[in-house]
Amino acid sequence: MKSVLVLGTGEFGSTIAKRMSELGCDVLAVDSDENVINEISPYVTNSMIGDCTNRELLESLGIPDFDICVVALGGLFQESLEATCTLKELGAKFVMARATNDVQMKFLKMVGADEIAYPEKQTAVRFGTRYASDMILDFISLDSNYSIYEMKIPKDWVGKTLMTIDVRRRHDVNIITLKRSGMVFIPHADTEFCADDIAFVIGEMRNIRKCFKI
């Protein structure tokens, strides 16, 4: 079970805290607002009211004992910067901090943040990709080149087998799973495609576009 410290329990911080608690993590949530702490308390292991930039308070929490520290402060960026810097100085193993623009991301990295959450940009990229084509239902970015895409299958695939379309050899695209009538399964070479199948595929965007004729 991982031990997690979440500084700031606004929408972003509380969502992370609740989700990690659901997944069995030991979560301590800290915020200066009593109202938001009262709201999050039933969902986490422990919670407390306090100044998330106060060095003495953070030191008293035993920062090196946490596997992950999340800086999700929604006020002035200076507070996020101070909290991130202090956490690293106190021996934090891993700090994830939230940024709202490229400049903030740059400075958070400079003071030692191990990972930057950039929800606005990530959401914009996701929606931009999702609505660029009716074929794309969703996607998960793996790195700057590869992503997993949830795709409607082309009409000319219907009735053909995975071996016949051979997208791995032709387009360097791998079909991971298929979803049919709400059920997800791993297709075999002789699996025939049906009209309403949804394919989960991995590959580079340029190859996905060729493969699905986007």
Query: Model confidence over 38-66: pLDDT tens digits?
Result: 999 999 999 999 999 999 999 999 999 99
- The answer to whether residues 31 and 104 belong to one domain is yes
CATH number, domain with residue 13:
3.40.50.720
The CA-based diameter of the chain, rounded to the nearest angstrom, is 67
Cβ distance 71 to 87 under 8 Å?
yes
Q: What is the pLDDT of residue 118?
A: 83
- The answer to whether residues 92 and 173 belong to one domain is no
> Measured between alpha carbons, how far is 123 from 60 in angstroms, rounded to an integer?
36
Give the count of domains, the chain. Answer: 2
- The answer to whether residues 132 and 182 belong to one domain is yes
Average pLDDT over residues 71-81: 90
> Which among 117, 149, 183 is the end of a domain?
117
- The answer to whether residues 148 and 102 belong to one domain is no
- Of the CA atoms within 13 Å of residue 14, those in its CB half-sphere come to 15
Find the radius of gyration of the CA atoms of the chain. Answer: 22
- The answer to whether residues 131 and 199 belong to one domain is yes
- The answer to whether residues 99 and 158 belong to one domain is no
> Which among 70, 90, 117 is the end of a domain?
117
Percent of the chain scored above 70 by pLDDT?
Answer: 100
Query: Model confidence over 86-131: pLDDT tens digits?
Result: 999 999 999 999 988 889 989 999 999 999 988 777 777 777 777 7
Q: What is the pTM of this model?
A: 0.70
- The answer to whether residues 138 and 206 belong to one domain is yes
> Measured between alpha carbons, how far is 17 from 7 in angstroms, rounded to an integer?
10
- The answer to whether residues 128 and 176 belong to one domain is yes
CATH number, domain with residue 188:
3.30.70.1450
- The answer to whether residues 148 and 185 belong to one domain is yes
- The answer to whether residues 110 and 138 belong to one domain is no
Range of the domain at 143: 123-211
- The answer to whether residues 11 and 107 belong to one domain is yes
Q: How many other CB atoms are there within 10 angstroms of residue 14's CB atom? A: 21
> Which among 64, 84, 117 is the end of a domain?
117
- The answer to whether residues 110 and 70 belong to one domain is yes
Q: What is the pLDDT of residue 179?
A: 93
Going by the DSSP 8-state scheme, the letter that residue 32 receives in this structure is S
Q: Token pair 């891993």 is at which residue?
A: 94
**What are the residues whose beta carbons fall under 8 Å from the beta carbon of 111, sequence distance 6 or more?**
81, 84, 85, 88
The DSSP H or E segment spanning 117 is: strand 115-117
